[in-house]
Amino acid sequence: MFIILILKKFSLYKVILTMLNKLYKNLEKILKNLDKSNIFLAIVFLLHSVGSKYIEQQVSEGIKQLLQNPWSKSILIFSSSFIITRNCKVSLVTAGIGFIIFRVFLQDDSAFCIVSKKEN
């Protein structure tokens, strides 16, 4: 009975592993296509332009509030990184690291903040 249960679990493990492998291969194809796409580059460049300080001063308050969202900052880090590297994987990793640095280590209300607050 125990051996049958182990074989069923192993079989399920193989199925899950196969599905994850297929998912990874599909994601790999999508990222390679995005790396080569001039349209994607143009969209990322526009996102980068909208996020810059010069453009931010000329937009409405609603867009300014949207740009203050931590996730929008990650998208802007991604877009800047993608423009420089033209590689989606590197850009995603850079955006993730940037999010962790700015949201965890440099955020005043974070328990892991490494920048001390100025006391008056």
Cα angle vertex 86, ends 96, 45, to 5°? 85
Q: What pLDDT is stored for residue 78 in this prediction? A: 84
Q: What pLDDT is stored for residue 54 in this prediction? A: 55
Angular region, 60: left φ>0, alpha ψ -120 to 50, beta rest: beta
Residue labelled with tokens 């460049």: 45
Contact 58, 29 (CB under 8 A): no
Q: What pLDDT is stored for residue 24 in this prediction? A: 93
Contact 48, 76 (CB under 8 A): yes
- The CA distance from 87 to 71, in Å, is 20
Q: What pLDDT is stored for residue 36 in this prediction? A: 84
Ordered mean pLDDT values, 10 residues apiece, the chain (120 residues): 62 79 94 84 70 65 78 80 83 83 80 72
Cα angle vertex 48, ends 77, 69, to 5°? 60
Q: What pLDDT is stored for residue 87 in this prediction? A: 86
- The CA distance from 20 to 13, in Å, is 10
Contact 86, 45 (CB under 8 A): no
